[in-house]
Amino acid sequence: MVSRLSLLRFTILKKYAQIALPNTYELTPHGRDTMNIFQTLSAQDFFANYWQKQPVVFRQAIKNFQSPLEPDELAGLACEEDIESRLVLETGGEKPWQALSGPFEESRLSKLAESGWSLSVQGADRILLEVSALLKYFRFLPAWLLDDIMVSYAPDGGSVGAHIDNYDVFIIQGQGKRRWLLGGAPQYDEEYHEDLDIRLLKEFAPKHEWELEHGDILYIPTRFAHHGIALGECLNYSVGFRAPTDGELIRSLANWAIENDLPERFFSYSASGAQGSASEITADSLSQIKNHMKAYIDSEHFTQWFGQHISEPKTFFAPPEQEEQLKEAQLESLMSEGAILIPSEGLKRCWSAAPSPTLYIEGERICLPEGSSAALVQQISDCDLLSHKEVSSFSPEVNLWPTLCELCNKGYLTLSRD
Ligand code: SIN
Ligand code: CO
């Protein structure tokens, strides 16, 4: 049997075509709709017993699941520049478990063997609105924790080997079946095979075995060893959530503080007398230093840093090409004639209410006009679309047109005249 990947080019990429609103996904001004994947288990049970504790399978979590991507389309994406893709060749490469990064030549993918490989595309939520729409099943977690959605395809027997990931992942069985073997506890002292392109575990003693069918979801907590083997042709959506480390957060905060050239706050030592040994770092001194640093963490700078840090995308944002910069009056007039604004696929947006309502997009703090309410900031952060009606409902108290114009010119919002 010849591999099914016939490499039809994917044609509805927004970058290459006019915006096409997918009819499977209802866009709403209030956006971020929620679908429940919990059936016998509740969200409370999940957080109490499974989240970052144990893997669990949600059987038929998405009834009649329609995969937004076909394997051929995934292969098409893996041939595109600016899209991160990977091919893992367990066999048939120059060495076992060879990992190759895309973009791939169509001829390379069409020569793939019947089995022994796996193809994946990262950040698919930032490529297709229909893939980012899958996030509606995961609204029980904060959107800012999302890492990305990876889509992977493997022919019968294909896998990426037994490994550990540094993030929590929900794997939706999009097409076909996959057998999953999982460890019983998080691992931190693992050893890897040497001289391989990918980090594969030297030892793996699975405690769980599950067969996932179309529409099932498997949750794998951070650092649980796992190995998923395709049973027939198989397509998965891996919805990954970040588990940032102390080091990552501290480095980012320190860099942010340096880049933003904040006024220095000097530590002020206080004492009621001389200490016994001048060279001792006393418990009281440590407590004073901790309080000094805590004051920084409690300040508004901390919220600003976190909003910018956590809204930073994992994959580069490529603004759609625009012939010319929009002007406010032009935007208002086009929207009054029916044009709407649509956020880019998978645009990283979040907001915070305190110390004042603030919007963060793609690692940027977006200044909103004076007097903007939390409801307004939330709407821009959550909406699937903005029409003239929504924008006018905020005016005249708040003139949002300059901000919207800026967001359009940065490519974060796209004007659709259809
Ligand atoms: C895959 O879908 O290729 C495997 C995903 C994973 O194990 O993280
Ligand atoms: Co994994």
Atom 2 (ligand 1) nearest CA: 152
Query: Domain check: are 57 and 177 in the same one?
Result: yes
Verdict on whether the full-model pTM lies above 0.85 = yes
- Cβ–ligand 1 distance for 173 under 6 Å, the answer no
Residue 218: per-residue pLDDT? 98
123 occurs within a structural domain: yes
255 occurs within a structural domain: no
For the CA of 120, the nearest atom of ligand 1: 3
Q: Enter the tokens of residue 196.
A: 């391989």
Boundaries of domain holding 70: 36-241
C-alpha closest to that of 129 among 342, 340, 317: 342
Select from 241, 262, 291 the last residue of a domain: 241
182 occurs within a structural domain: yes
Which CATH number do you get for residue 350?
Answer: 3.40.366.30
**What φ, ψ does residue 292 adopt, rounded to 5°?**
-60, -45
Query: Domain check: are 50 and 195 in the same one?
Result: yes
Atom 3 (ligand 1) nearest CA: 152
Query: Domain check: are 233 and 336 in the same one?
Result: no
Residue 39: per-residue pLDDT? 82
Select from 212, 241, 270 the last residue of a domain: 241
349 occurs within a structural domain: yes
- Cβ–ligand 1 distance for 158 under 6 Å, the answer no
Identify whether the C-beta of residue 339 lies closer than 8 Å to the C-beta of residue 417: yes
Which CATH number do you get for residue 50?
Answer: 2.60.120.650
For the CA of 236, the nearest atom of ligand 1: 2
Query: Domain check: are 63 and 177 in the same one?
Result: yes
Query: Domain check: are 65 and 171 in the same one?
Result: yes
pLDDT tens-digit profile, the chain (418 residues): 344 455 443 443 333 333 444 444 566 777 777 788 888 888 999 999 999 999 999 999 999 999 999 898 899 899 988 899 999 999 999 999 999 999 999 888 988 999 999 999 999 999 888 899 899 999 999 999 999 999 999 999 999 999 999 999 999 999 999 999 999 999 999 999 999 999 999 999 999 999 999 999 999 999 999 999 999 999 999 999 998 999 999 999 999 999 998 888 899 999 999 999 999 999 999 999 999 999 989 988 999 999 999 999 887 777 777 778 889 999 999 999 999 999 988 899 999 998 889 999 999 999 899 889 999 999 999 998 999 998 988 877 889 999 999 999 999 998 888 7
Identify whether the C-beta of residue 141 lies closer than 8 Å to the C-beta of residue 47: no
204 occurs within a structural domain: yes
Select from 191, 212, 241 the last residue of a domain: 241
335 occurs within a structural domain: yes
- Cβ–ligand 1 distance for 160 under 6 Å, the answer yes
Number of independent structural domains in the chain: 2
284 occurs within a structural domain: no
